[in-house]
Amino acid sequence: MTTVGEAGWQVLTAHGIDTVFGNPGSNELPFLAAMPDGVRYVLGLHEGAVLGMADGYALATGGPALVNLHAASGSGNAMGALTNAVYSHSPLVLTAGQQVRSTVGQEVMLTNVDAAALPRPLVKYAAEPASAQDVPRALSQAVHTALLDPRGPVYLSVPYDDWSREAGPDTAHLPSRRATAAAELGEAALSELAGALAGAANPVLVLGPQVDADRANDHAVALAERLACPVWIAPSASRCPFPTRHPAFRGILPASVRDVSDRLAGHDVVLVAGAPVFRYHQWVPGDLLPAGTRLLHLTADPAEAARAPMGEAWVGPVGPALAALAGRVPASGREPLPPRSGPPAPRGAEDHVPPQQLFALVRDAAPAGTVHVCESTSTIDDFVAQADLTEPGSYLFPASGGLGFGLPAAVGAQLAHGEARRVVALVGDGSANYGITALWTAAQYRVPVVFVILKNGTYGALRGFAGLLGTGETPGLDVPGLDFVKISEGYGVPAVSVSDAASTAAALKDAFAADGPRLVEVVTAPGVA
Ligand SMILES: Cc1ncc(Cn2c(C)c(CCOP(=O)(O)OP(=O)(O)O)sc2=O)c(N)n1
Ligand SMILES: [Ca+2]
């Protein structure tokens, strides 16, 4: 007899799933008992960290990541991290244990009441199959839904007595099922886009995370060089789709209506590829576009195309479209953009390491191809000013700004990259607390992440917003007295605290040379104990 558990796992492993990120309760034990040899279980101590690790893993591999959570309480703890995964289009397959099928209506202890409603709208698909025999097919639907554009997280709640039931005879069809979407935009769309770009007097590219997720960075470079045009990263960047030292690179667009329009002024054609139009953040009203500017929007997500407040949108795979356009658009005849000067020389200080100096030290200490998982919300522009990112997948940031992403996602990304690429987490002393338990997983599984905590003793980004909003000194802006060395060592990760450039450089050198995780707490503001 084939059980539902055996059939379900056959579906999951047929899609290349070999790792489960989880935190179990009694409802999950029968699913885990059916887990076949060769599948690795990675335990996180809090479901927010579990989800963040799975997100980092999926963003790094591009493939699906399997998550197993405990009923409603576990799923609820993961929801904050889901706000990022849904906007980063992470193909996460969340499974949650449900109480015994016949007792759910009574709402016995550990019942996940109305389970399919719980994670919405943060998932593409959520269900609790109507019978045990439908569980393998529902798992197949979940995986295909997560992987089909626009990719995204899905959620399946399964009563724990289902797994031992006999699977139906039709489950044998499921492991070999494939679902393939259209490979690229149609001829008419590509011709219209190529014509508009070729006819532009002063085009500009605005690139989003989907370009990096599609590993299409080189195609974006080829198109920018054909057009001899500047390139911006779309506001609220969660990935880096373009080399940061390239002559065309201009930085991340500021995340307000007025500032975006100011940066696009003078350009007659704007191609936005692989990003929503736009992920504004600060409310600074202005014209959505400068007068006379035509915005062309290329996205894999119909919802992004439909909800944009301006421009003309085309829906299709972003990477292949950029490759096709780079091959179609003729050389513009404009002078190539001149090489940019190197990063600014960062200022130093006696009793702390200012952020740009720290980022320069990290750049100089990190091996080629290092992945930077960032979550220090007041220092993003400082990082970009100093960074030298060239390869796809080199930068990850929480796609909805939901904090608690940085430390866990760094662990997940390092698990994905293995020895091929090192991962450094650059996380603020505020953000670190939301996903702090990931340090335990890094220690237990010897995941060699370099964790750098930027200690300024405050919620720096909120202080910035207080200035913008004129709210003055509100409560809840400072986070004094945190000792990340003691916290880190309490979770099993060796740590050191530094407050000058020389000690920081030495600590980073040691950390990147270590064969296990290391944490470096860096004092980045004056007067911080
Ligand atoms: C889960 C969660 N809680 C609270 C916030 C609000 N928040 C908070 C609390 C920020 C401050 C983060 O401080 P930090 O120390 O990590 O970094 P900076 O000091 O560089 O801003 S930025 C921000 O949007 C959030 N985005 N996500
Ligand atoms: Ca801070």
DSSP state of 111: -
Confirm if 289 and 263 have CB atoms less than 8 A apart: no
Tens-place pLDDT, residues 489-505 = 999 999 999 999 999 99
Residue 70 annotated as catalytic: yes
Spell out the domain ranges in the chain.
4-173, 187-328, 355-523
Residue 187 annotated as catalytic: no
Please state the separation of Cα 90 from the chain's center in Å. 7
| First and final C-alpha spacing in the chain | 64
Q: Which of 48, 4, 112 is nearest to 435 (CA)?
A: 48
Confirm if 432 and 491 have CB atoms less than 8 A apart: no
Does ligand 1 have an atom closer than 6 angstroms to the CB of 379? Answer: yes
Residue 327 annotated as catalytic: no
Does ligand 1 have an atom closer than 6 angstroms to the CB of 431? Answer: yes
pLDDT of residue 141 exceeding 90, the answer is yes
Pocket test of ligand 1: the residue of 279, 374, 382, 403 to mutate, having most ligand atoms within 8 Å of its CB, is: 403
Ligand 1 atom, smallest distance to 355 CA: 20
Residue 316 annotated as catalytic: no
Confirm if 263 and 231 have CB atoms less than 8 A apart: no
Does ligand 1 have an atom closer than 6 angstroms to the CB of 402? Answer: yes
Tens-place pLDDT, residues 34-60 = 999 999 999 999 999 999 999 999 999
Q: Where are the alpha helices (DSSP H) in 228-333?
A: 257-264, 302-307, 318-328
Q: How confident is the model at residue 181 (pLDDT cuts 50, 70, 90)?
A: confident
Lookup: tokens for 123: 């998932």
- For residue 184, what pLDDT is reported? 84
- For residue 128, what pLDDT is reported? 98
Does ligand 1 have an atom closer than 6 angstroms to the CB of 401? Answer: yes
Mean pLDDT of the chain: 97
Does ligand 1 have an atom closer than 6 angstroms to the CB of 236? Answer: no
Residue 46 annotated as catalytic: no
DSSP state of 151: P
In order of 216, 225, 264, 439, the CA distances from 336 in angstroms are 21, 7, 19, 46
Q: Which of 337, 227, 323, 331 is nearest to 274 (CA)?
A: 323
Main-chain phi, psi angles of 182, to 5 degrees: -55, 140
Nearest CA to ligand 1 atom 22: 461
Q: What percent of the chain has pLDDT over 70?
A: 100
pLDDT of residue 182 exceeding 90, the answer is no
* 4-173: CATH architecture: 3-Layer(aba) Sandwich (3.40)
The residue-averaged pLDDT of 374-388 equals 98
Say which of 63, 76, 192, 281 is annotated catalytic: 281
Please state the separation of Cα 459 from the chain's center in Å. 21
- For residue 529, what pLDDT is reported? 75
* 355-523: CATH architecture: 3-Layer(aba) Sandwich (3.40)
Tens-place pLDDT, residues 304-358 = 999 999 999 999 999 999 999 999 999 999 999 999 999 999 999 999 999 999 9
Is it true that 4-173 and 187-328 share their CATH fold?
A: yes
Residue 267 annotated as catalytic: no
What's the CA gap between 85 and 152, in Å, rounded? 7
Tens-place pLDDT, residues 105-121 = 999 999 999 999 999 99
- For residue 456, what pLDDT is reported? 98
Tens-place pLDDT, residues 427-484 = 999 999 999 999 999 999 999 999 999 999 999 999 999 999 999 999 999 999 999 9
Pocket test of ligand 1: the residue of 82, 279, 377 to mutate, having most ligand atoms within 8 Å of its CB, is: 377
> Three-state SS for 161?
coil
Pocket test of ligand 1: the residue of 431, 434, 452, 453 to mutate, having most ligand atoms within 8 Å of its CB, is: 431
Tens-place pLDDT, residues 228-282 = 999 999 999 999 999 999 999 999 999 999 999 999 999 999 999 999 999 999 9
ipTM above 0.85, yes or no: yes
In this structure, whether the domain defined by 187-328 belongs to CATH 3.40.50.1220 is answered with: yes
